[in-house]
Amino acid sequence: MTALRNLVVLGSTGDVWQLGRGGHSLVAPKRVGLLELASFGGFSGLSVRRAIRSVEDESSSKSATELSRVVDQTETSVSKRLHKDLTSFRRPLTVSDFSHTPENKSKMRIAFKGVPGSFSEDAALKAYPNCETVPCDEFEEAFKAVELWLVDKAVLPIENSSGGSLHRNYDLLLRHRLHIVGEVQMTVNLCLLALPGVRAEQLKRVLSHPQALSLSDNTLTGLGVTRESVDSTAGAAQDDSDNVTRFLVLARDPIIPRTDKPFKTSIVFTLEEGPGVLFKALAVFSLRGINLTKIESRPQRKRPLRVVDDSNTGSAKYFDYLFYIDFEASMADTRAQNALGHLQEFATFLRVLGCYPMDTSV
């Protein structure tokens, strides 16, 4: 019973959530009972309990020795069946699974947002050429797929050189407890697709992902077409020949920081309101010669406004912000450790989102 009890430690009572999948696509959650989840080889936790209870009901006519023998036989049978079925379970990831060596890449199942053939799938295949890609309908589905062990990692876009940051994914980074373990940079080439024989002057409407429509704003304005947003890049005309999208690789566990190659660290923090506070926060990196590659601010949803009373100007309202920063240093570097230690002196909240190898290829 010890093995069975450890296996269903998802909750001591009540129900747990199970997210299934059909083919390679994620499907809606299915609610299953805790005892149903503990069923292996036709012998469930519930039947084990019934077997033991049945023996206990007959205890008045059996000796204590006989009762103990029957219970031991029942538990031995369950243990053998459970051990046999557990061999087919996917093993938990280890540090070696986060290595960027080709032999480990072949074992990965990578979630991405979109449909097969999208740029996000291309980014997943660039990071792990031999991986099995798993499309998701929404960004948050990809986060949950990693958390529920349906996939090993997720590859999701975070910013584009023309369209800017994807704020939705910044918010999800804070909401979920995944770690950034890598990044991928992809050159994005957008094309305007139409049926054979259709001329540009005949176009009335263009369908594509909102980000692709934004990247092609100038060209589409010149064509005078109506824009309609859809879930994936159905096609758009390209505005910028140097259009690069940066993707993040997300996993359940962080990787071990190193100093033998270029690393990048991503953090999020909040500050008290006051003159020069943000300057002081950024100065902790400048004082140690650490280069910042990205800074992004997002309003705090749970505390969007701060009311400040001043004797001269009366009451004033300010937005409370979360600050996301990427900097070029490994957490194994004492400069980074000292910088974050310094930042903690006046930050009201600080979290390291990930420390990962930089991608210098495009």
Active site residues: 245, 247
- Counting beta carbons within 10 angstroms of the beta carbon of residue 126, is it exposed (0 to 12), middle (13 to 18) or buried (19 or more)? middle
Is the distance from CB of 191 to CB of 235 less than 8 angstroms?
yes
Instruction: Name the residue among 247, 244, 229, 221 with its Cα closest to residue 169.
Output: 247
Do the bridges between strand 132-136 and strand 109-113 make them parallel or antiparallel, or are there none, so unpaired?
A: parallel
Distances from the Cα of 362 to the Cα of 110, 154, 308, 340, angstroms = 20, 19, 46, 30
Instruction: Name the residue among 154, 177, 333, 351 with its Cα closest to residue 266.
Output: 351
Instruction: Name the residue among 36, 41, 70, 65 with its Cα closest to residue 53.
Output: 70
Output the DSSP codes for 25-65: EEEEEEEEEHHHHTEETTEEHHHHHHHHHHHHHTGGGS-HH
Q: How far apart are CA 129 and CA 155, in angstroms?
A: 13
Task: Dig out the tokens for 32 from the structure.
Answer: 């299953």
Output the DSSP codes for 65-78: HHHHHHHHHHHHHH
C-alpha of 30 from chain center? 21
Instruction: Name the residue among 303, 298, 301, 295 with its Cα closest to residue 322.
Output: 298
